Amino acid sequence: MASPPTSLILSLLISTVIVQILSDNLHEDRKVYIVYMGALPKTEYSPLWHHHSVLQQVLESSSVEDTLIRSYKRSFNGFAAKLTGKEQQKLAGMDGVVSVFLSRTLHLQTTRSWDFIGLKEAAERVPTVESDVIVGVLDTGIWPESDSFSDEGFGPPPEKWKGACNGGEDFKCNNKIIGARFYNSDEGTNVQISARDVDGHGTHTASTAAGNKVVGASFYGLARGNARGGVPSARIAVYKVCGKEGCSESDVLAGFDDAISDGVDILSVSLGQLWATDYITDTLAIGAFHSMLKGILTSNAAGNNGPYLGSVSNVAPWMLTVAASSTDRRIIDKVILGDGTNITGNAVNAFDMERNMLPLILGEDANDYCNNYDAQICTDGCPDPNFAQGKIVFCEEYSLGDGPLNAKASAVIMAEDIYSDFSFTYPLPASLLSVRNGERIKTYINSTKNPEAKILKSEELFYTNAPVVVSFSSRGPNIIVGDILKANLTAPGVEILAAWPPVASPSEFADDKRSVKYNIISGTSMSCPHATGAAAYVKTFHPDWSPSAIKSALMTTAFPMNATKNPDEEFAYGAGQIDPMKAVHPGLIYDAYEDDYVKLLCGIGYSTDQIRLVTGDNSSCPNDFSEAPKDLNYPSMASSGVRKANFTRTVTNVGPANSTYTATINSHPKMNVSVNPNVLSFKTLKEKQSFVVMVSAEELEEDLIVSASLVWSDGFNSVRSPIVMYQSANISEV
Ligand SMILES: *[C@@H]1O[C@H](CO)[C@@H](O)[C@H](O)[C@H]1NC(C)=O
Ligand SMILES: *[C@@H]1O[C@H](CO)[C@@H](O)[C@H](O)[C@H]1NC(C)=O
Ligand SMILES: *[C@@H]1O[C@H](CO)[C@@H](O)[C@H](O)[C@H]1NC(C)=O
Ligand SMILES: *[C@@H]1O[C@H](CO)[C@@H](O)[C@H](O)[C@H]1NC(C)=O
Ligand SMILES: *[C@@H]1O[C@H](CO)[C@@H](O)[C@H](O)[C@H]1NC(C)=O
Ligand SMILES: *[C@@H]1O[C@H](CO)[C@@H](O)[C@H](O)[C@H]1NC(C)=O
Ligand SMILES: *[C@@H]1O[C@H](CO)[C@@H](O)[C@H](O)[C@H]1NC(C)=O
Ligand SMILES: *[C@@H]1O[C@H](CO)[C@@H](O)[C@H](O)[C@H]1NC(C)=O
Ligand SMILES: *[C@@H]1O[C@H](CO)[C@@H](O)[C@H](O)[C@H]1NC(C)=O
């Protein structure tokens, strides 16, 4: 479990983002802080004036004009400013301030995937409603000229739209992309001139959620088919909050502030931090909370820090946190050795090496100045053109291909086991083999005078094991509130074909000059817009449903994943894989409103004063803090560190008025689960009924996690909830 591949994979999956830690000496010793002040007061109030005045009171050596970067005033209250440590501390103690935290840099985390999860091209749709759905995307911008965003056949924007097209230089909206904004943070050199996407990430995610149907899309013939989003008739509003150096939180919060007021219906946010943080100092949790208050659903990526337990970020209960899993199509390639052996590896390799065999050389023989380890793993700078030029270099670890590329090698073969369940796009012909197959390469090289090999163009395989949560997908448990199970759901995030800007390198290397309209990439960034699209699809049938009702529908109808193939079980996949068609008719829903989240916040220790600022109303904590996080009315039940727990839940009938549901428990041998009552009879639509689930588990010694499920069924609808018990003590050791 070496650490290098983790950081490598991150830097690749997060697109071209270079992780930038704000340098300490930037602007003397001032750093950008976010001052979060909760909801906007409902009384007459001038936020800008207030922000100036608050700032004025704490500034010691600078003017408001020089320090205030941004005011949040459309959807919630707060500002971003360059402060010294002392000023920051003073602010944190002031009335009306919920939290003050450093603005960090967040990371960006097909044809086949929608079919795989059952949302076929011919699926029943409500086109007039669908074209009124506005999907907001917070990302690296968009390539407006892509066929996926043509507005042919689209009427004018829906009347409810209050946004604007402020896309900047050389950027035109149309009736598909109805809004665009970009944010020019003053941090580092992250200067944007328009909402145009030159990285690729934002174009890819937007087209996955809501792109038009485009016939015959492919990446050099690979994954050929009709590219389309989950809701091809929906409109897109673009908020470019990320640039080459990542996404500064002060910009991300500005994107939320605008998107909520502009009137988007759903927000897709494929961004995350490397680890989970407290809700009131977590920009994404704050943005998602205020979205929820306005009835806007937010879909988030679980993160790409797997396969380690406790790696999930985006853990607030009002967020829909999406893990990434495979579809039944894998893309692989083959290495042929001079002795005729052929070995299957992982790479999206569109290069055609034709018939030529090329000399094959070990990384350690391709240089004479690096230490042995760096040479073996082909650390950039080690492979030397004097040895490597024109050859295939073998590297004993996962790499981005940069070392061999910069040494003018013709191709690279790598060996690594952790990330062997998906394929990357590389800037040169490449194949990632298992460690065992890597040994075969070494043996072969040692066995012959003139070792040679070639790498074939990639091919598609039918992957019978699917769906399986992929290695890089971040795992639970939730390290902030253990009783809230995360991730919630899984969706396709492996080798997804979607739109790409022709100016962006498909392998994210500037030296890779290939220009494509569609690219194949992997990440929870790719699964998140699948959940967004699915949620938008459900919303077209139920425009009045709350965000939590839609999420409940997606969770209780999810396709159960196979625990044998997914050893981290619910920590990896939550309720299972989204099934958008089924989610339209969930039968029953577990709904939660602001009050429920307020009780949750009280339960985990926030004060009434803090909560009132956040919600902007008279919310208060109940006198008895009996409401534990596990009692939030959500469609899954989790408890950590105890052997017995009761869960109280209320379901709302959204199916036939007269219906009777019976409970079925699929239990684990080490658990006893009972439900009281175990029959629920409904007479009317929207009728609510409550029940209690009583769970006891044996001492969990060998097992990290034991899980069961509860299914309510009326003979037509099955409403499934996972029930999970785990030992938190074991997790913290990981
Ligand atoms: C995600 O799941 C957790 C627990 O399973 C739940 O608390 C949370 O509300 C879910 N999120 C949404 C948005 O439904
Ligand atoms: C690779 O080996 C398999 C099994 O030996 C064989 O069927 C296949 O034709 C070979 N492929 C190539 C490209 O040589
Ligand atoms: C290479 O082969 C020689 C002799 O066949 C053997 O002694 C040596 O251990 C081998 N080296 C490696 C790295 O396999
Ligand atoms: C789960 O996967 C295992 C191993 O692949 C298989 O034997 C089993 O039949 C699968 N279970 C289900 C329900 O598909
Ligand atoms: C909050 O309570 C105060 C006093 O109890 C009352 O005047 C005010 O109208 C309430 N505000 C809201 C938003 O309910
Ligand atoms: C669960 O509820 C039952 C019935 O009210 C009660 O006997 C039991 O003690 C409760 N268990 C826990 C862990 O609270
Ligand atoms: C529900 O069923 C009862 C008895 O079968 C019937 O009297 C009643 O009209 C039904 N209600 C609705 C809303 O269909
Ligand atoms: C489950 O119930 C059975 C029968 O009542 C009992 O023998 C067993 O100890 C229980 N197991 C747990 C884990 O509570
Ligand atoms: C879980 O923790 C217990 C107590 O510390 C330990 O005995 C057990 O081996 C651990 N289990 C796992 C799977 O790590």
Q: pLDDT band at 478, cuts 50/70/90?
A: low
Domain boundary among 71, 102, 133: 102
pLDDT of residue 619: 83
What's the pTM value of the predicted model, to 2 decimals? 0.86
Residue 573 forms part of a structural domain: no
Indicate whether 138 pLDDT > 50.
yes
pLDDT of residue 568: 63
Residue 219 forms part of a structural domain: yes
Residue at 484: amino acid letter:
I
Of all residues in the chain, what percent carry a pLDDT higher than 70? 86
Q: Please report, for the domain that includes residue 668, its CATH number.
A: 2.60.40.2310
Residues 337 and 323 in one domain: no
Residues 95 and 224 in one domain: no
Residue 3 forms part of a structural domain: no
Residue 139 annotated as catalytic: yes
Residues 79 and 157 in one domain: no
Residues 322 and 342 in one domain: no
Q: Please report, for the domain that includes residue 117, its CATH number.
A: 3.40.50.200
Residues 320 and 354 in one domain: no
Residues 149 and 210 in one domain: yes
The sign of the CA dihedral 700, 576, 652, 317 is positive
Q: How many helices (H) and strands (E) does the chain have?
A: 20, 36
How many folded domains does the chain comprise? 4
Residue 521 forms part of a structural domain: yes
Residue 554 forms part of a structural domain: no
Domain boundary among 428, 447, 462: 462
Residue 572 forms part of a structural domain: no
Number of neighbours of residue 56 by Cβ within 10 angstroms: 11
Give the pocket of ligand 9 (CB within 6 Å). Answer: 701-702, 704, 727, 729-730
pLDDT of residue 627: 64
Higher pLDDT, 314 or 733: 314
Q: For residues 382 and 364, what is the distance between their CA atoms, to the nearest angstrom?
A: 9
Residues 407 and 480 in one domain: no
Residue 477 vs residues 135, 187, 283, 350, 490: alpha-carbon distances, Å: 29, 33, 21, 38, 15
Residue 420 annotated as catalytic: no
Atom number of ligand 2 nearest to Cα 334: 13
Residues 219 and 236 in one domain: yes
Residues 119 and 47 in one domain: no
Q: Which of 139, 333, 402, 631 is catalytic?
A: 139
Mutation to probe ligand 2, out of 335, 337, 342, 456 (largest number of atoms < 8 A from CB): 342
Ligand 1 centre from 183 Cα, in Å?
A: 30
Residues 392 and 431 in one domain: yes
Residues 141 and 232 in one domain: yes
Question: Phi then psi for 263, rounded to 5 degrees?
Answer: 100, 30
Average pLDDT taken over every residue of the chain: 85
Q: What is the pLDDT of residues 536-573, one digit of tens each?
A: 999 999 999 999 999 999 999 988 877 776 666 666 66
Q: Is the CB of 319 under 6 A from ligand 1?
A: yes
Indicate whether 396 pLDDT > 70.
yes
Residue 201 annotated as catalytic: yes
Q: Please report, for the domain that includes residue 50, its CATH number.
A: 3.30.70.80
Residue 608 forms part of a structural domain: yes
Ligand 5 centre from 617 Cα, in Å?
A: 8
Query: Which of these ranges, 119-128, 232-241, 340-349, has the smallest mean pLDDT?
Result: 119-128
Residues 268 and 209 in one domain: yes
Compute the CA torsion angle 381, 386, 390, 394 (nearest 10 deg).
Answer: -50
Q: What is the pLDDT of residues 584-614, one digit of tens each?
A: 999 999 998 888 888 888 877 788 888 888 8
Residue span of the structural domain in which 389 resides = 329-462
Q: Please report, for the domain that includes residue 418, its CATH number.
A: 3.50.30.30
> Which ligand neighbours the alpha carbon of 699 most closely?
8
Domain boundary among 522, 546, 570: 546
Residue 53 forms part of a structural domain: yes
Higher pLDDT, 208 or 616: 208
